[in-house]
Amino acid sequence: MFALSLIAPCFLFILTFAFYPIAYSFFLSLHRIIISLPGLEQPFIWFGNYKELFHDKIALQSLVNTFLFVFTTTFFELLFGLAIALAINKHFRGRGIVRAAVLIPWAIPTVVASQMWRFIFNDTYGLLNYAFFGSDTALYQAWLADPLFAFLAIVAADVWKTSSFAALIILAGLQTIPDELYDAAKIDGATAWQRFVKITLPLVKPALLIALLFRTMDAFRVFDLVFVMTQGGPADSTNVLQFYGYKKIFAEGLMGYGSTISVLVFFVTLLISLLYLKMIGTRLFGERS
């Protein structure tokens, strides 16, 4: 009873601010609610919103965009994060300053970073056009008006901002590797690439999986980046599920249908997180046993 009393405040906090909103969102998704018409009846339609969702071409395209965004950004964030972690794990003068500087993009609020990248890709005064075409405005490109470049723009913005977060987690994993392993490998004549493949990569896999878990969960919830940079356009090429759900609720007033999209994001994130946790648990405990 004493142990239960100690964890009760934490459990109540999680129940109030996590479990209850999830359950209430699911409850709303079972109703046809239009907030712009408050006097209208709000019938209980069971899974009618879910059936409509899987026949909604824009929602399905947003789902594809979301998965594509998640897989692309997490791949490059882990790749660049690993490279950054390897670099700042070395011993050199000013390493502390470099480590602090690497975290600056992650520390910048996402809305501020998104606005900065929107300025960079601006077709009139953007830095990217100036870098490619100089002062010849006749050649300037409307990057965010092209479906492919608009999608690549939000990917680039997300990778730039969060690669340092992945690097921080991977760096923690690198620092657990004993230097004696590298010294022994050098004595045996192993090259730098062989030391990386045979020592660094296997021993840093748990940290890589943890970084993958956090970044995947965060990427599935992307909203502010799309909201500031592209508003889901052009032609819904950057429309992701979270932003599409926001538009359905706050722009069109479809509270029930928008909640259905939020529930879908939750369950997809939950399933992928459980898969990653199983992989992490197998890696940490399965091989040792």
For the chain, what is the mean pLDDT? 89
The predicted pLDDT at position 150 comes to 94
Query: pTM to 2 decimals?
Result: 0.88
Strand partners, 31: 44
| 138 touches 124 (CB < 8 A) | no
**CA pair distance 255, 263, nearest whole angstrom:** 12
Domain ranges of the chain: 60-286
Statement: residue 282 has pLDDT above 80: no
d(Cα 66, Cα 225) in Å, to the nearest integer?
A: 13
Give yes or no for a contact between 88 and 99, defined as CB atoms under 8 angstroms apart: yes
The predicted model gives 45-63 an average pLDDT of 92
Reported as a single tens digit per residue, the pLDDT across 63-118 is: 999 999 999 999 999 999 999 999 998 888 888 888 888 889 988 999 999 999 99
Top CATH class, 60-286: mainly alpha
Tens digit of each residue's pLDDT (9 = 90 or more) over 126-143: 999 999 888 888 888 899
CA 16 to chain centre: 25
Contacts of 175 (CB under 8 A, 6+ apart): 89
Whether 289 shows a pLDDT value over 50: the answer reads: no
CB 226 within 8 A of CB 243: yes
Confidence grade of residue 35 (pLDDT, cut at 50, 70, 90): confident
Helix, strand or coil, per DSSP, at residue 254: strand
As a whole number, mean pLDDT of residues 230-256 equals 90
Total count of residues recorded for the chain: 289
Whether the ω angle into residue 234 lies within 30 degrees of 0, i.e. cis, is yes
